[in-house]
Structure 1
Amino acid sequence: MKAESRSGGFLGLAKSADVEVQTPKAFAGAGRLVVGGFKIGFNDSKRLQKKGQSVSFGPNFGGRSTGLVKLEGITPDVRQRITDQAYEDFVKALAARGYEVVSREVFTGHAAYAGVKEYAFPYEDDQSGLLSSYGVATYYSPSAIGPKQAIFRTDVPKFTGGFGYSNPLGAVGKFGETTGIPVVYVSYLVDFAGAGGTESLMGSTLQVGQLMSVDRGVLGIGSGQGGTFSDKIGSLTLGQPIGSEIAFAMIEDTSTGVAVGVETALNLLSTMTGRGTNQTREFVVHADPDKYALAARDVLVKAGDRLMDKMVTLR
């Protein structure tokens, strides 16, 4: 399966940029940096769907095809190793691009950081809703940072912080104004499956397959206080997902109990066609830990390179 191209702009007709930039001036002049936050989320399950189109007259041919996909075979230890390696790769890549990476303790030990709320990791982000167990991601912190971190609003989708939330951007602003050192904070979401198919008046088809990808990636930076006219807080966001061609799993259709081998059905799991009816099938992606880790590093390095290369052009 290939990562699908994303569109945006008016009526969604324009292809999204590879990297979307917010406040370019925030990245200008940065030479010394502190990596104040680094997190990788791993998707555990997801709902994929295609919908048949409806007409305003005559019979409704619209049918909904749904695939419920769950990942198995990957332990927390595997994800921790991937996170540790990604953090090491990221810091080395910053240095290779001419940035001086200052110890994180310079930031977290500063008076500006006092009172910032930290959260325990692994941190679970459950977007499944009340009626489905599908849609859960778990975020990991590098061992070099430790099991607790502050969470920036760009780190986790729909994060609100809940009771007692203390926005770390305030600490970033005070730290930057005092020391002149910008703080960068990074978050990725690693996914394991993708979808294709069709949507038409005659119904819908859904193709589901394994796909290692960075579905979401954000690199934020701060060197002063934010505000309507501030140019001290900025971000780089992946406008397009980054996928890998590395196979890492065997796939089972648990709706039928049929095992699908990677060598015979690398991309395509199943085709579901609906005509005025809805159909749902469930799949389990049985991942090989070593191949999963290899594919994950592939996309995480590519994602980091894309964000940092853009960052360099803004310096």
Structure 2
Amino acid sequence: MPLRPLVLALVVASSASLAFAQTQPAPASTETPADAVAAPDPDAVFKGRMGGTFGKSVQEVMPATKRVAVAAFRVAFVTDNSITAQVRGAYLPGMDMSGARSSFYVTLKGVEPKTLQAITDRAYADFLQQIAASGREVVPMEQFRDSFAGFKVTGSPQQPHTKEQNGQTATFFSPTGMPLVFTHFETGWGGFGNFDLTNYRKLQEISSQVNATVIAPMLVVNFARMSSSGNQSGLMSRTAETGGELSMSVAALNSIYIRTEEFRNGMLMKGDEGSLQMAAAIASPMQFGTMQTISEDDNRAVRTAVNVLGMFAGIANAGGAARSVKKAVATTTDDTYAAPANDALSRTSAAFGRWWKKYPATP
């Protein structure tokens, strides 16, 4: 692999690996288009890095972009969340700590695919509108629709693509009329190999054809904010704790950034290539649904009894590590879910538009 694509692969892959990180309470923002005056600096919400040019940020090349084509747009709706905490066993003279492990699972129920498709269509239209408000010309889908035939497509409108990875299950939707595509940077979700450049090269080609910067955002809509005490040593902690609460957010946004000046021999020969991503989740304060525990299991009673017996035999912590598993269901309805999902996506699009507006196109 040539050096330039290899460097870009490292840049984009490092950001894509964080795409489905669990939403933690601290970084979530509740900004809204209505209170843009009080909104945080968009540089605190988004960041990006170019491949092949060490040290150059996306912000440095954004002014060169006068036209933007959103040639792929994916919304991943998380339907299952899980999180684990662990305390590793440790031993010191006179002290034996056997560790602990806690797991929490929550599944979303009550939302139909047609609702998720409608949310996606609305998010795409709003996303384009916010980019246009930054002063850029947005290339309409009709100008590159013929290029869709060259994509390797995943799923279909009749059979949405669903996949599990890193303890989360997500169902993916693309706007009506646009195929669902993944690049080799998103192998965990798209299923393509690391060296399958078909879709990536096609995005480079579209950039050349329409003379515009191409972006392909993936937005992750999560319904729960999960918490964990993390992975710790038994020397530092004795208990492992996990939990979660309903909280609608756009937990991640990741995209490639391609501006092709010269496309030859089926690949970009001159231009800009990089990636951009959210640095903090954007949450909606709107309430939706209820969460109910459906099963809870731990070995507390058995462990206590075995520990007591072990004491008489001179065996410390004979009961072994503490273990607990809790499973819950989050129940909602189409309308109740759609309102905060639309709200979180709208807030994200508005923040993204402000980011582009902060770095206006050069005359």
Shift of 1:116: 2.8
Whether the 8 Å CA contact 2:46–2:352 is kept in 1: the answer is yes
1:232 matched to 2:253? The reply is: no
Residue from 140, 143, 146 that aligns with 1:103: 140
- Based on CA coordinates, which of the two structures has the bigger radius of gyration? 2
Q: Which residue of 1 aligns with 2:341?
A: 296
Q: Which residue of 1 aligns with 2:329?
A: 284
Q: Which residue of 2 aligns with 1:34?
A: 69
1:166-210: CA deviations, max 9, x gaps?
532312323333542222211111111122354652212223211
1:125 matched to 2:163? The reply is: yes
Whether the 8 Å CA contact 1:53–1:202 is kept in 2: the answer is no
Residue from 251, 257, 277 that aligns with 1:215: 251
Q: Which amino acid aligns with 1:308?
A: G
Whether the 8 Å CA contact 1:32–1:99 is kept in 2: the answer is yes
Shift of 1:253: 0.7
Write the distance in 2 (CA, Å) between the matches of 1:172 and 1:19. 22
Residue from 86, 109, 123 that aligns with 1:72: 109
1:69-218 aligned at under 5 Å gives the runs 69-109=106-146, 115-121=150-156, 122-127=160-165, 135-143=168-176, 145-146=177-178, 148-153=179-184, 157=188, 159-162=190-193, 165-196=196-227, 198=229, 201-218=237-254
Q: Which amino acid aligns with 2:336?
A: K
Residue from 3, 25, 31 that aligns with 1:4: 25
- Aligned to 2:248, the other structure's residue is in SS state strand
- Aligned to 1:174, the other structure's residue is in SS state helix
Shift of 1:312: 3.2
Q: Which amino acid aligns with 1:99?
A: R
Write the distance in 2 (CA, Å) between the matches of 1:153 and 1:304. 25
1:260-313: CA deviations, max 9, x gaps?
xxxxxxxxxxxxxxx931100110001132221111112112222333322333
- Aligned to 1:85, the other structure's residue is in SS state helix
Whether the 8 Å CA contact 2:133–2:353 is kept in 1: the answer is no
Write the distance in 1 (CA, Å) between the matches of 2:149 and 2:113. 30
Shift of 1:62: 2.5
Q: Which amino acid aligns with 1:204?
A: A
Whether the 8 Å CA contact 1:82–1:297 is kept in 2: the answer is yes
CA 42–205 in structure 1, closer or farther in 2 if over 3 Å, else same: same
Write the distance in 2 (CA, Å) between the matches of 1:159 and 1:300. 22
- Aligned to 2:322, the other structure's residue is in SS state coil
Write the distance in 2 (CA, Å) between the matches of 1:46 and 1:116. 30
Write the distance in 2 (CA, Å) between the matches of 1:250 and 1:223. 45
Q: Which amino acid aligns with 2:278?
A: L
Question: Gapped runs of 5+ residues in structure 2?
Answer: 1-22, 28-42, 51-57, 231-235, 297-319
Write the distance in 2 (CA, Å) between the matches of 1:188 and 1:194. 16
Q: Which residue of 2 aligns with 1:242?
A: 282
Whether the 8 Å CA contact 1:244–1:299 is kept in 2: the answer is yes
Calculate percent identity across the aligned residue pairs. Answer: 21
CA 236–306 in structure 1, closer or farther in 2 if over 3 Å, else same: farther
Write the distance in 1 (CA, Å) between the matches of 2:344 and 2:218. 13
Write the distance in 2 (CA, Å) between the matches of 1:303 and 1:80. 18
CA 89–191 in structure 1, closer or farther in 2 if over 3 Å, else same: same
Write the distance in 1 (CA, Å) between the matches of 2:207 and 2:111. 39
Q: Which residue of 2 aligns with 1:262?
A: none
Q: Which amino acid aligns with 1:86?
A: A
Question: Gapped runs of 5+ residues in structure 1?
Answer: 7-15, 129-133, 257-274
Shift of 1:155: 5.7
Write the distance in 1 (CA, Å) between the matches of 2:89 and 2:281. 30
Q: Which residue of 2 aligns with 1:22?
A: 49
Q: Which amino acid aligns with 2:335?
A: D
The structure with more helix, counted as a fraction of residues: 2
- Aligned to 1:4, the other structure's residue is in SS state coil
Shift of 1:154: 5.0
Whether the 8 Å CA contact 2:76–2:220 is kept in 1: the answer is yes
CA 102–197 in structure 1, closer or farther in 2 if over 3 Å, else same: closer
